[in-house]
A and B are shown apart, each in its own frame.
Chain A
Amino acid sequence: GENVGLHLPTLSVQEGDNSIINCAYSNSASDYFIWYKQESGKGPQFIIDIRSNMDKRQGQRVTVLLNKTVKHLSLQIAATQPGDSAVYFCAENINGQGGSEKLVFGKGTKLTVNP
Chain B
Amino acid sequence: GAGVSQSPSNKVTEKGKDVELRCDPISGHTALYWYRQSLGQGLEFLIYFQGNSAPDKSGLPSDRFSAERTGGSVSTLTIQRTQQEDSAVYLCASSLVGTDLYEQYFGPGTRLTVT
Count of residues in B whose CB is under 8 Å from the partner chain: 27
A-contacting residues of B (Cβ < 8 Å)?
Answer: 4, 31, 33, 35, 41-45, 48, 50, 53-54, 56, 58, 91, 93, 97, 101-109
B-contact 0/1 string along A21-53, CB 8 Å cutoff? 000000000001010100001111110010000
A43:B107 contact, CB within 8 angstroms: yes
Q: Contacts A43-B4, A44-B91, A96-B58 given: A102-B45 contact, CB under 8 Å? A: yes
User: Is the contact region of chain A dominated by helix, strand, or loop, or is it mixed?
Assistant: strand
Nearest-neighbour CB distance to chain A for B82, whole angstroms, equals: 22
A62 interface residue per 8 A CB criterion:
no
B102:A101 contact, CB within 8 angstroms: yes
A98:B56 contact, CB within 8 angstroms: yes
Nearest-neighbour CB distance to chain B for A86, whole angstroms, equals: 13
A102:B103 contact, CB within 8 angstroms: no
B42: A residues at CB distance < 8 A: 89, 105-108
A89: B residues at CB distance < 8 A: 42-43
Nearest-neighbour CB distance to chain B for A103, whole angstroms, equals: 7
Residue of A34, A44, A108 near B102 (CB, 8 A) is A34
Q: Which residue of the partner chain B has the closest CB to A43?
A: B106
Known: A103-B102, A108-B42; 14 extra A-B contacts, CB below 8 A, are A36-B106, A41-B108, A42-B109, A49-B102, A96-B48, A96-B56, A97-B58, A98-B54, A100-B50, A101-B31, A101-B97, A102-B45, A103-B45, A107-B42
B101: A residues at CB distance < 8 A: 49
